[in-house]
């Protein structure tokens, strides 16, 4: 158990819909990262938040947005869903922000868009 | 885009064999990490290497960072079925005051008893 929780564990929805994925970091961690993992693209970094503010941005689509709240939990919003958005979405947290920080990954949310 | 190429993509071996997994890039990374991921779970960090030429050992696993900090290898001695999993390398590079993590596609390892 990494100490990072993600909900829901599974999500099935239809194209065009909007969903929200939630992540609670390990106690005391200030950084939250979001990743998308698919068979054809591997693990892709989407976005990082540090203490409530956006810190780094990766391959995140404009249809996707995220935020980190004052209690440090984070939400990833996916809108206008397409079939290709079906993937595993992971959240990870770390104590601080930097290349050598240990990232602790949550169990992921499996999203299926039909 | 900073790319990390991992090889081989798949590896199926017998218990007791040795193996090496490679992670290569044309770019220099500030640091490089190796993760292991089991089905249905998130990746778990194995090691972080930061200095060119660095070698780290974790029981039967030996990690090496290339002198130029562009490549790395993971060597497993006397593999066991419990080593089965997806091995991912990840590098971070500086971009505009922040660090962007990049993951390789992974090496899927199966160790047969």
* Contact criterion met (CB < 8 Å) for A99 and B43: no
Condensed to tens digits (0 to 9), the pLDDT of residues A48-104 reads: 999 999 999 998 999 999 999 999 999 999 999 999 999 999 999 999 887 788 899
Condensed to tens digits (0 to 9), the pLDDT of residues B51-77 reads: 999 999 999 999 999 999 999 999 999
* Contact criterion met (CB < 8 Å) for A107 and B106: no
- pLDDT band with cut points at 50, 70 and 90 for residue B96: confident
| Residues of B whose CB is below 8 A from A90 | 42-43
Residue A75 backbone dihedrals phi, psi, to 5 degrees: -130, 140
Q: What is the CA radius of gyration of chain B?
A: 14
- pLDDT band with cut points at 50, 70 and 90 for residue B29: confident
More confident of the two residues B27 and B86 = B86
Closest Cα partner for A98 from A48, A53, A52? A48
Contacting A with CB below 8 Å, chain B residues are 29-31, 40-45, 48, 50, 88, 90, 92-95, 98-106
């Amino acid at each position: 158990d990494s100490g990072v929780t993600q909900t829901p564990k599974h999500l099935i929805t239809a194209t065009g819909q909007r969903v929200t994925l939630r992540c609670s970091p390990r106690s005391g961690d200030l950084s939250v990262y979001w990743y998308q993992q698919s068979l054809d693209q591997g693990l892709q970094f989407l976005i990082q938040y540090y203490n409530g503010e956006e810190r780094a941005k990766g391959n995140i689509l404009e249809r996707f947005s995220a935020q980190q709240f004052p209690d440090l939990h984070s939400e990833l919003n996916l809108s206008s869903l397409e079939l290709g958005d079906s993937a595993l979405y992971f959240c990870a947290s770390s104590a601080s922000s930097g290349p050598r920080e240990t990232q602790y990954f949550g169990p992921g949310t499996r999203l299926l868009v039909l | 885009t900073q790319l990390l190429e991992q090889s081989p993509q798949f590896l199926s071996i017998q218990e007791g064999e040795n193996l090496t997994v490679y992670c290569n890039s044309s770019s220099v990374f500030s640091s490089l990490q190796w993760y292991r991921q089991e089905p249905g779970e998130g990746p778990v960090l194995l090691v972080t290497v930061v200095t060119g030429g660095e070698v780290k050992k974790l029981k039967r696993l030996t990690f090496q960072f290339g002198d130029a900090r562009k490549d790395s290898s993971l060597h497993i001695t006397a593999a066991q079925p419990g080593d089965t999993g997806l091995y991912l390398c990840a590098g971070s590079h500086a971009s505009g005051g922040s660090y962007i993590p990049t993951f390789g596609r992974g090496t899927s390892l199966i160790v047969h008893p």
